[in-house]
Every structure is written in C-alpha cells, then in structure tokens.
Amino acid sequence: MSVTTTTARPAAHPPAAPLPRPRRARRLATEEAPWVRYTLITIALLFLLCFLVLPLAAVFAGAFAQGAGLYLESIREPDALAAIRLTLTVVAISVPANLVFGVAAAWAIAKFEFRGKSFLITLIDLPFAISPVIAGLIFVLLFGAQGWLGPWLGEHNIRIIFAVPGIVLATAFVTFPFVARELIPLMQEQGKDEEESALTLGANGWQTFWRVTLPNVKWGLIYGVILCNARAMGEFGAVAVVSGHIRGITTTMPLHVEILYNEYQFAAAFAVASLLTLLAIVTLVVKSVIEWKTDRRRRRAAH
Amino acid sequence: MRTVRILLLTALLVGLATSALAQSVTLLNVSYDPTREFYREYNAAFQKHWRTQTGQNVTIRQSHGGAGSQARAVIDGLDADVVTLALAYDIDAIHERAGLIPKDWQSRLPNNSSPYTSTIVLLVRKGNPKGIKDWDDLIRPDVQVITPNPKTSGGARWNYLAAWGYALKKYGSDEEAREFVRKILANVPVLDPAARGTTNTFVQRRIGDAFIAWENEALLAIEQLGRGEYEIVVPSVSILAEPPVTVIDRNVDRKGTRQVAEAYLEYLYSPEGQRLAGKHYYRPSDPAIAKEFEAQFPDVKLFTIEDVFGGWQQAQTRHFLDGGEFDKIFDSLRR
C-alpha cells in the first residue's frame, strides 16, 4: 500500500517537471536582452493591473462609496439575505452533485474501455459549448407550463422553473463539466497500473478506489470543486432565464446585484457584488492553505 | 372516551393551524421595468389598507423586467396573481397562448383596465446641446438616439408607435412614416432589452443625445440621478400609453387568492392609489386626482393606439411580430 502512495505523489502534481528544467530556464534568461525582459514584465504587470486589480478595487470602492453604514445595511436587508441564502443553498446542492458525477465519469472514462466513450466525453463538454441562456431555455422547454412536462407538473402542483429546483438544475447543468474535465486528463496520465497492482495484492474495487485512485487525484479534484463552486455562485445567464426574478424568493446574488443596479441603488449593488467577490477570494485562500499544508506535510514525510 | 378526546384535540390543532395560515397571504405581482419604485410604495400602502380592512397580513412579491419577457414568463408558468404590464398586447398573449385569463379581461376594470396612463417624451442632456425640439430632430445624422428593443420591451413599442404616429400625421403616408422610423433607428447605437437598462445606458454610461422614454421614467431619472443634468423635451404630438392590469384567473383560483388579488388592483383606482401613481409620475386616471398633479405633467397633444393603429392586436401583428415592419426596417439597417 505504502509503495503505491509514494510513487503516486509526483504524478499528483503536474507542475513537478523532469530534472533538466532549471538548466534550460537559466539559458533562456541569458539569451534575452534585459530590456526585452523588463518590457515583457511591465506589459504583464500592466495587464494584471488593468484587468484584475483595478476592477476589483472598483467593486470595493463602489461598495463603500456611501460609507460603511450603508454597506452593512444593504447586506443585512431581507432581500439581500434571502439572495445570499439561496446562492449558498444552490451551491450546497449542485457542487456535491457534480463532485460525485465528475469523479464517477472521470473514473469510468480514464480507467475503462467501453463503446461510446468518446460520445460520453463530448456530452460532458456540452455545457461548456452552449451558451448559458440556451441552458436556461432548455429547462423552460422541459418544465415550463407550455413545455413537455409542464402540464403534468402543473396537475400535481410541482414547481420546477421559477422556483428553487429550476435554479439548482440550471446551475448544476452549467457547472457540470468542471470536476470531470479536471480529472479526466489527470487520471488518463496516471494510467491504471496502480489500480491493477492493488487488485492483484487483494484489494477489492471499493478499496482500490478509496485508497489508490482518490488519493492520486486529490489535488485535481479540489481544484475542480473550487472552480465548480466559483462558477455556481456567480452563474447569471442560465439562472436569469429560469428564475422569474421574484425578489426575495428566486433571486440569487448575481441577480440581486442586477436588480439593485437597475433600481439606481448603485452602492448597494456594489456592496452585494463585493460580498460575492469576497466569497470567491475566500475559496481561493482556502485552496492555497490546503495546498500549502499538504505540501509541508509531504516534505516532512520525505525527510 | 379517550379516542374521542384525541380526535377533538387533533381537530382543534388542525383548526388552529389553518386559521393561522389564513392570517397571512402572499401575492406575486409580475410587472414591467419602470414601475419598481411605484409598486414598492403602493405595496406598503395596500398592506396597511388590507390589514385594517380584514385583519389579514398580505405579503406582496415583485418581479420586474421587459414587459414582453415578463408575459412570456407568466405563460411559461411564473405563478403571478396579478400582472401589471406595459401594454395590452402582452396580456392578450397570456390569454392566447396559455388561456390563463378570459378574452375580455380588459373590460373588467375601468379605463381599459389602466389605472394610470403615461406618454412618451424625449430626455436630453443639460442645456440641450443638440437643440432637440421634436421628433424631427431625431432623424438628424448628428443625433444619437437611445431606445430599447421593441421585441422585448413594452416601452420601446410605445416609443416606436409614437414616432410612427407622428410621421404619419405629418407626412400622411405609410411609406414616409416607415422611412422616418428607419432613420431614427439608424441613429440608435445600442438596443437594450428593457427600459431600465436604457436609462442606465443614457444616464450612467453617458451614451446618446436623446433618450425616448416613458414620461414617468424620464421624470424619475431626473429626480434620482441628477436634477439639472437632464431636461425633458415634450414633442408636439405623442401617444397615450395605457399600461393595463389584470388578475391571472387560473392562478388566483388555484391558490385561493382571488379576493385579495382583486382588491389589490381595485385599490389602484382609490384616491390613495391614484395619488401614489401621480407621485411616481404616472398620470392618474381619476380626473380629480389628476388635477392635483397638473403642474407636474406637461400638456401634450395625445393620440391613442385605437385612433392611429386600430388597437394593439393590429399594431402588434403589423409592426412587431416576426417579419413585421420592425424586422424589415432592422434588416435594411444591417445591410
């Protein structure tokens, strides 16, 4: 068992490149004149400043434009709280669902051969390829009052679209590929040698999955979940189509930001937007902390 | 004996629970874009009125957007108790496509079911730098015009018909009117999906020289976003816009909210409802209340959609349905 886990580790870190890399890096650096290097660095920094730092600063500047009092008030307002609650609910359902699906799909695709495999891969990519608005419309066509299942749902008084289930469905659909897409290349690269050795050593399928496959893809999985989570919180287009924009009931945070903006409450709009940004930053920090801790533990173990 | 007592207790509990439920009721009002501020205040007033009348608490939920897309959502199953939309055609569509309301819905409340009216005016920047005085100035090549997309926005359809009606009166032929509207649309740099987005385009993003807008939206924009930064230009002729309201029969009967939903709309015609409409720059339909707000509304020569276009059904079919006049004009502009 221990053999498999130690050999697995380098593969779990795609950036851990083969040895000759530092030498090549030094040679590349000496080839370019200093002015080229500095120009390139300046361009890159300016680009970062314009497209990442400035908009981020603008969101927070707008949020506090009319003081911290109004900021707190706009976040504590009942409709804003309802939007935050709804966003977290949607994330809490759609992300775990996509986690389970993503792992299952990637496992099947990377470790087994079966007919229709490339078709399955294409299907998984579908939500990336089609516009979120179309994704929303699909659910209106399926579950809307004039849609395929609409009359039946109406008779049984079940609400899907213009209610929370529709928003969850639309979000899950749009964030569908993130986990699977992250894991498939990783698992394919790792091959199935380790699983096969585990099996020959007497592990059953379940044990192999939990103790060999899953630890090997842990980082890719966490990364996929974080991307999935970020997109699920921020999704606008698909959710806008199925939401019905009922204030305090079916408005997620991005929709609430739009409503506030449309009602000339710019400071409040930016306040909620900044909260959404903060949530995103928190996810990134959590990711870095986990990464750093495991990295340290690994190094300690190597000594 | 014991079972009887338990039964009685259960009956009592069930009775208590249902009466507690009857203490509060929720309405969903699906409305168009620029009514946000008005209904926020009106809902609070109606809540108070309903509580003193019946002792029941009513919560009113709002949904806003372009009138066309809002009607579409109700057709697709958005659970509206009442709709308060920008024009009759969109409510007709709810009858035709989903059968949620009877065909004669518009005759159920006074004034074609329009408790307040409005008209279409032009909003220009401070000092009117381009010297815009009437519809004619909107076809000048140096003037950028802001108006939303008539396919999704009710306000935009009123804008379009106001311009067409003006040209028809002035030049006398449909060809000239079409050419006139084509020239205006050629001056439009962005076609937003709903009225509120266009206000933000004009005011926040400072795009365009003239903004064809609901009178109430123009007055509100001045009030909220900068007194003295904008001026209203009243055209020589404009259209009488009647935004109608109705209960959605199928939904209120299913939910058992008919009584409160009907009261909600009738209260719009009460002096208090009318005064709130006036306060939010809608023209009250009650003449006595309208007089109180006289100073606020410029005198405009107004024509109705029946006079010039023969009603909404005809106007919609000819101008805004797929392949209609708007599509033809739009195609010719893209070429």
Please choose, from the candidates A241, A57, A54, the residue with its C-alpha nearest in 3D space to the C-alpha of residue A138. Answer: A241
Interface check A150 vs B, CB under 8 A: yes
Q: Do A259 and B77 touch (CB under 8 A)?
A: no
3-state secondary structure of B319: helix
A100 CB neighbour count, 10 Å cutoff: 10
Q: What is the DSSP annotation of B60-104?
A: EEEEES-HHHHHHHHHTT---SEEE-S-HHHHHHIIIII--S-TT
Closest Cα in chain A, distance from residue B141 (Å): 30
* Together in a domain, B15 and B57: yes
pLDDT-above-90 percentage for chain B: 67
Per-residue pLDDT reduced to its tens digit, B30-41:
999 889 999 999
CA–CA dist B162, B234 (Å, integer): 12
Average pLDDT over residues B52-61: 94
Per-residue pLDDT reduced to its tens digit, B277-303:
999 999 999 999 999 998 888 888 999
Q: Do B62 and A246 touch (CB under 8 A)?
A: yes
CA–CA dist B129, B39 (Å, integer): 35
Using an 8 Å CB-CB cutoff, list chain A residues near B28. 246
Place of tokens 């959502």: B73
Lowest mean pLDDT among A136-140, A183-187, A289-293: A289-293
* Together in a domain, B172 and B320: yes
Closest Cα in chain A, distance from residue B140 (Å): 30
Using pLDDT thresholds of 50, 70 and 90, give the confidence band for residue A9.
Answer: very low
Residue A175 and residue A128 in contact, taking contact as beta carbons nearer than 8 Å: no
In a domain, B281, yes or no: no
Average pLDDT over residues B192-211: 86
- A25: buried, middle or exposed (CB in 10 Å: 19+, 13-18, 0-12)? exposed
Q: Which of A77, A250, A257, A262 to mutate to test the interface with B (most CBs of B within 10 A)?
A: A262
Q: Is B127 a residue whose pLDDT tops 60?
A: yes
Per-residue pLDDT reduced to its tens digit, A14-50:
454 455 555 545 555 567 788 888 999 999 999 999 9
A116 CB neighbour count, 10 Å cutoff: 9
For residue B22, the model assigns a pLDDT of 55
Interface check A58 vs B, CB under 8 A: no
Q: Do A247 and B97 touch (CB under 8 A)?
A: no
Which residues 94-113 in chain B show a CB within 8 A of chain A? 97-98
Q: What is the DSSP annotation of B218-267?
A: HHHHHHHH-TTTEEEE--SEEEEE---EEE-HHHHHHHT-HHHHHHHHHG
CA–CA dist B151, B192 (Å, integer): 10
Per-residue pLDDT reduced to its tens digit, A43-68:
999 999 998 899 889 999 988 888 88
State the pTM of this model. 0.80
Q: Is A169 a residue whose pLDDT tops 90?
A: yes
Q: Which of B39, B63, B70, B229 to mutate to test the interface with A (most CBs of A within 10 A)?
A: B63
- A83: buried, middle or exposed (CB in 10 Å: 19+, 13-18, 0-12)? buried
A27 vs A145: which has the higher pLDDT: A145
Interface check B232 vs A, CB under 8 A: no
Residue B185 and residue B329 in contact, taking contact as beta carbons nearer than 8 Å: yes
* Together in a domain, B206 and B326: yes
Q: Is A6 a residue whose pLDDT tops 60?
A: no
Q: Do A246 and B37 touch (CB under 8 A)?
A: no
In a domain, B277, yes or no: no
For residue A68, the model assigns a pLDDT of 87
B246 vs A289: which has the higher pLDDT: B246
* Together in a domain, B28 and B107: yes
Lowest mean pLDDT among A89-98, A223-232, A286-295, B315-324: A286-295
Average pLDDT over residues B141-149: 93
Q: Is A2 a residue whose pLDDT tops 50?
A: no
Total domains in chain B come to 2
In a domain, B145, yes or no: yes
For residue A11, the model assigns a pLDDT of 45
* Together in a domain, B178 and B246: no
Using an 8 Å CB-CB cutoff, list chain A residues near B37. 263
For residue A26, the model assigns a pLDDT of 52
For residue A180, the model assigns a pLDDT of 92
- Cβ partners under 8 Å of residue A117, min gap 6: A109
Q: What is the DSSP annotation of B203-223?
A: HTS---SEEEEEHHHHHHHHH
Chain A, chain B: beta-carbon pairs less than 8 Å apart: 55
Using pLDDT thresholds of 50, 70 and 90, give the confidence band for residue B59.
Answer: very high
CA–CA dist A85, A79 (Å, integer): 10
Q: Do B61 and A246 touch (CB under 8 A)?
A: yes
In a domain, B284, yes or no: no
Kindly give the pairing relationship between strand B116-125 and strand B237-241: antiparallel
In a domain, B101, yes or no: yes
Average pLDDT over residues B118-144: 93
Which of B65, B75, B196 is facing A245, going by the closest CB pair? B65
Interface check B279 vs A, CB under 8 A: no
Q: Do B196 and A248 touch (CB under 8 A)?
A: no
* Together in a domain, B262 and B318: no
Residue A168 and residue A252 in contact, taking contact as beta carbons nearer than 8 Å: no
Look up the domain containing B73 and give its range: 2-114+242-269
* Together in a domain, B97 and B189: no
Residue B81 and residue B257 in contact, taking contact as beta carbons nearer than 8 Å: yes
Q: Do B97 and A146 touch (CB under 8 A)?
A: yes
In a domain, B303, yes or no: yes
Please choose, from the candidates B112, B111, B87, the residue with its C-alpha nearest in 3D space to the C-alpha of residue B34. Answer: B87
CA–CA dist B146, B188 (Å, integer): 6
In a domain, B285, yes or no: no
* Together in a domain, B192 and B313: yes
| Token pair in block for residue A189 | 């690269």
Please choose, from the candidates B112, B81, B76, the residue with its C-alpha nearest in 3D space to the C-alpha of residue B94. Answer: B76
Please choose, from the candidates A60, A15, A65, the residue with its C-alpha nearest in 3D space to the C-alpha of residue A281. Answer: A60
* Together in a domain, B74 and B147: no
| Token pair in block for residue B10 | 């259960």
Q: Do B98 and A244 touch (CB under 8 A)?
A: no
* Together in a domain, B225 and B123: yes
For residue A262, the model assigns a pLDDT of 83
Using pLDDT thresholds of 50, 70 and 90, give the confidence band for residue A5.
Answer: very low
Q: Do A162 and B37 touch (CB under 8 A)?
A: no
Q: Is B310 a residue whose pLDDT tops 80?
A: yes
Q: Is B272 a residue whose pLDDT tops 70?
A: yes
Average pLDDT over residues B153-181: 92
Which residues 85-104 in chain A show a CB within 8 A of chain B? none
For residue B7, the model assigns a pLDDT of 53
* Together in a domain, B133 and B211: yes
For residue A3, the model assigns a pLDDT of 40
pLDDT-above-70 percentage for chain A: 89
Q: Is A196 a residue whose pLDDT tops 80?
A: yes
| Domain end call among B269, B284, B312 | B269
pLDDT-above-70 percentage for chain B: 93
For residue B217, the model assigns a pLDDT of 87
Using pLDDT thresholds of 50, 70 and 90, give the confidence band for residue B192.
Answer: confident
Q: Is A96 a residue whose pLDDT tops 50?
A: yes
Using pLDDT thresholds of 50, 70 and 90, give the confidence band for residue B178.
Answer: very high
Interface check B93 vs A, CB under 8 A: no
Residue B138 and residue B121 in contact, taking contact as beta carbons nearer than 8 Å: no
Using pLDDT thresholds of 50, 70 and 90, give the confidence band for residue A7.
Answer: very low
Which of A146, A245, A247 is facing B75, going by the closest CB pair? A146
Closest Cα in chain B, distance from residue A90 (Å): 20
Q: How confident is the prediction for chain B on average, in pLDDT?
A: 89
CA distances in angstroms from B300 to B11, B120, B220, listed in the order given = 64, 10, 19
Interface check A62 vs B, CB under 8 A: no
Q: How confident is the prediction for chain A on average, in pLDDT?
A: 85
Q: Do A246 and B28 touch (CB under 8 A)?
A: yes
- Cβ partners under 8 Å of residue B123, min gap 6: B202, B210, B211, B213, B218, B221, B222, B230, B231, B232, B233
Which of B65, B76, B79 is facing A140, going by the closest CB pair? B76
* Together in a domain, B94 and B235: no
Q: Which of A133, A143, A243, A264 to mutate to test the interface with B (most CBs of B within 10 A)?
A: A264
Average pLDDT over residues A234-243: 92
The CATH number given to whatever domain includes residue B130 is 3.40.190.10
Q: Is A1 a residue whose pLDDT tops 60?
A: no
Place of tokens 């930053």: A281
Interface check B224 vs A, CB under 8 A: yes
Closest Cα in chain B, distance from residue A177 (Å): 28
Q: For A49-144, where are the alpha helices, taking DSSP H only?
A: 54-63, 67-76, 78-111, 117-129, 132-143
Q: Is B28 a residue whose pLDDT tops 60?
A: yes
Which residues 185-204 in chain A show a CB within 8 A of chain B? none
| Domain end call among B222, B254, B269 | B269
In a domain, B22, yes or no: yes
